[in-house]
Amino acid sequence: MRFIAALALALTLGPASHQGLVAQESGSSTEGAIFLLLPVGAKGVGLARAMTALEGAESVWWNPAGLAGVESRLMVTRGEDISGDATSLTGLFRREGLGTFGASYLLLDVGDVQLTDGQGNPLGRVSFRYHAGLVSGATRLGTNLAVGMNLKVIQSRLSCRGECLDAGVTATTYAVDAGAQWREIAGLPLTLGAAVVHLGPKLQVENEAQADPLPTRIRVAAAYDVLRHFTDVPDLHARLALEVEDRWRSPGNPAVYMGTELSAGIDPGVSLRAGYVYGADLQVDGAGVGIGIRLERFDLGISKSLASTDLAAGTDPVNVTFGFIF
């Protein structure tokens, strides 16, 4: 098949990160669209992905239940990701008594690969782009329980310009994220969170034989505000978060995420973040650090991942999140 030959040639010439994003081995099967496993947002990176039991605007990428109490805002994230440049845009709208609703778009630009002939003469360029569009909804059921859901469209696109064997291919599917958070359990400053993410049909390139399952994951987490035992200052928090993530299919090799966030004030406010990743897909055994600042209607987050990666050794991705509250 002409496309398969072109794809094989492009991947042979391209960096290892392109190969990793096309498919990842998971036991005896192969997962597609694994760009969905890459972290998005400065808070999530700074806390080393320990986000499922926390609330905030970036919860759209981790556990949609965390959106239930979020103010209306526009949010942009930009990351020098381990496999390319990741950019996202989110709009969230809160209605009292109903909840929070929003829409988001994520683009991962892996870059281009140049095709050459046997003498090294350029023939064309292959481009790798990955897209995800989401609509989100979250609400509170009573005082302590929050639930949320994302519906999303996922697309991987390989295109070629120049003297190519094929113009490229686009593969599209859809998925659901669903989650819950239970806050103030037994009167303690404890939140439990759980989510199932990237659940949907296989990503099909040409036919059923070339369809790969999505990287569906189960997340279970807890977060505890330890400062509540030492001070009654309402805007001073020290949250510790612990999270376990495993595959929906072939579970038994979980990743563990640990994060801590020390925050003071609301407006103005500042948050210091740090975390550690152990055994995650694409990132293993490494730390994340970050800072968040809130001033009037603006907030800014900056973080840096110190985790090693199977895709691009020696990279330290940086993420920035900017929000405007209205």
SS3 41: coil
Confidence of residue 13 (pLDDT cuts 50, 70, 90): very low
Domain count of the fold of the chain? 1
Read off the amino acid at residue 108.
L
Smallest Cα–Cα separation from 306: which of 295, 298, 318? 318
- Cβ 181 vs Cβ 195: under 8 Å: no
Query: Does any domain span residue 24?
Result: no
CB-side neighbour CA atoms (13 Å) of 109 = 8
Query: Does any domain span residue 181?
Result: yes
Per-residue pLDDT, 282 = 59
Query: Does any domain span residue 265?
Result: yes
Calpha distance 129→111 (Å, rounded): 7
**Domain CATH number, residue 63:** 2.40.160.40
Query: Does any domain span residue 161?
Result: no
Calpha distance 95→101 (Å, rounded): 8
Query: Does any domain span residue 258?
Result: yes
Query: Does any domain span residue 217?
Result: yes
- Cβ 244 vs Cβ 220: under 8 Å: yes
Is the pLDDT at 202 greater than 50? The verdict is yes
pTM for this prediction: 0.85
Tokens of 270: 């500042």
Calpha distance 284→102 (Å, rounded): 32
Query: Does any domain span residue 22?
Result: no
Residue 240 sits in which domain range? Answer: 37-108+132-146+174-325
Query: Does any domain span residue 250?
Result: yes
Residue-wise pLDDT for 137-195, tens only, equals 999 999 899 999 999 999 998 888 877 766 678 899 999 999 999 999 988 999 999 99
